[in-house]
Amino acid sequence: MTPDKEKPDSPRIILMAGFEPFGGASVNPAWEAVKSMNGVELAAGYQVVTLMLPCVFDEARRVLIDATRALQPHIVIAVGQAGGRTDISIERVAINIDDARIEDNAGQQPVDTAIDPDGPAAYFSTLPIKAMMLALRDKGIPASVSNTAGTFVCNHVFYSMMHSLRDRPDARAGFIHIPYLPQQAAQYPGAPSMSAEQVTDALRLAAQTAATTEIDMPIPAGALH
């Protein structure tokens, strides 16, 4: 796809990526929610393009970076499942480490391995994370700012995405974690869940807020522990 500067009338792209199932599961709510948004027009001039990511460390990074280079999106939002989370968790920071508690879908399990040995220790999301949180809460959707994206493939993709876009100030990017679907939580008594419909509504609103908010809101959303 040709960048906007060469085609002034072309829509600005919001690239939304979700993961394939992993860990022996048959479904991943991240992809189930993301895939239905392909082609959706959100804010004026913005259109969603969706992408499924493999739950494999280096391959997921390659697939996402290849897509960002081809599409030249203005906004990139990657979405992953975080079983046990109670709400839509908008991630603040990605750290430069792989430390996998389980194997990825290719049987890899890196431990204490730098994602990029020459990269910085961390990158912060460039999305308006607090405005997104408030927009979701205003619609009755549980949401918070999270300060840990883990150390599995989600964080690997988040860090790699921010690293690859570090020289593109016109592009903003970040990561969102979502809870189990109800049918998944049923296998783990007491585990929180959120319906696919509500997750999709949340991601749509989060992306729309990202597209229409230039400056984030300076409100407290930190954590005590």
Decide: pTM greater than 0.85: yes
**Active-site option among 74, 156, 163, 177:** 177
Two tokens, residue 224: 């005590």
Which pLDDT does position 25 carry in this prediction? 87
pLDDT in tens, the chain (225 residues): 444 444 556 889 999 999 999 988 889 999 999 999 999 998 889 999 999 999 999 999 999 999 999 999 999 999 999 999 999 999 999 999 999 999 999 999 999 999 999 999 999 999 999 999 999 999 999 999 999 999 999 999 999 999 999 999 999 999 999 999 999 999 998 999 999 999 999 999 999 999 999 999 998 888 876
Spatial contact of 84 and 191, defined as CB atoms under 8 Å apart:
yes
What would the pLDDT profile of 49-61 be if each residue is shown by its tens digit? 999 999 999 999 9
Task: Return the CATH number at 184.
Answer: 3.40.630.20
Question: Is 2 a domain residue?
Answer: no
- In the residue annotation, 154 being an active-site residue is answered as yes
Tell me whether residue 166 is in a domain: yes
Instruction: Point out the catalytic residue in the list 55, 74, 91, 163.
Output: 91
Q: Cα separation of 49 and 30, whole Å?
A: 15
- Asked if the structure places residue 177 within a domain, the reply is yes
What is the token pair recorded at 195?
A: 């319906």
Asked whether residue 217 is assigned to any structural domain, the reply reads no
20 belongs to the catalytic site: no
Buried b (16+ CB within 10 A) or exposed e, 107-141: eeebeebebeeeeeeebebbbbbbbbbbbbeeeeb
pLDDT reported for residue 165: 97
What one-character-per-residue DSSP string does 157-191 give?
HHHHHHHHTTT-TT-EEEEEEE-B-HHHHTTSTT-
Q: Does 181 map to a domain?
A: yes
79: β partners: 18, 176
**Residue 224 domain flag:** no
- Provide the domain count of the chain: 1
101 found inside a domain: yes
Total residues found in the chain within this entry: 225
**Is residue 55 annotated as part of the catalytic site, yes or no?**
no
Percent of the chain residues past pLDDT 90, beyond the cut: 86
CA angle at 82 for the pair 134 and 70, rounded to the nearest 5°: 80
Task: Confirm whether 164 is domain-assigned.
Answer: yes
Catalytic-role residue among 55, 74, 154, 156: 154
Q: What is the DSSP letter of 54?
A: P
Domain ranges, residue 146: 12-212
